[in-house]
Amino acid sequence: MGDHTLRNCRVLVVEDEYLIAVELQTSLEDEGAVVLGPVATLADASELAEAEPRIDGAILDANLGGEMVFPVADLLMLRRVPIVFTTGYDASIIPDRFRDVARCEKPINMKRVVEAIGLALHE
């Protein structure tokens, strides 16, 4: 990954599709990241985002079983935590306040997501 290393970066993974969550976790750990989660529900994501003292970045599935992840994104943005959205929907579901946040469309390319969070962390 060059200058965008994830070594020892604490990355929150919020994803409700089990296989994608596991693949994200493995891909991030392969790059040296410490994965927080993964968690699959809005409630669990909110709890972890509030309780965890250090989160360096987050990968957030926009839709968690019909609940939108944006309250967690707001919380993380207040903490100045860089985020990347993953979604199977087009950009129109993302509120304008997140227009500058990277978005990776599903089916996601793991390399692309890892690169996107690396870039977000080092901006």
Using a 10 angstrom Cβ sphere, with 0-12 exposed, 13-18 middle and 19 or more buried, the burial of residue 51 is exposed
Give the number of other Cβ atoms within 10 Å of residue 106's Cβ. 14
Q: What is the pLDDT of residues 56-82, one digit of tens each?
A: 999 999 999 999 999 999 999 999 999
Mean pLDDT of 81-106: 95
pLDDT tens digits for range 11-60:
999 999 999 999 999 999 999 999 999 999 999 999 999 999 999 999 99
Q: What is the pLDDT of residue 2?
A: 46
Question: Parallel, antiparallel, or unpaired for β 102-105 and 57-61?
Answer: unpaired
Distances (CA, A) of 119 to 3, 27, 41, 101: 9, 15, 26, 11
Structural domains of the chain, with CATH: 2-121 (3.40.50.2300)
Instruction: Answer yes or no: pTM beyond 0.75.
Output: yes
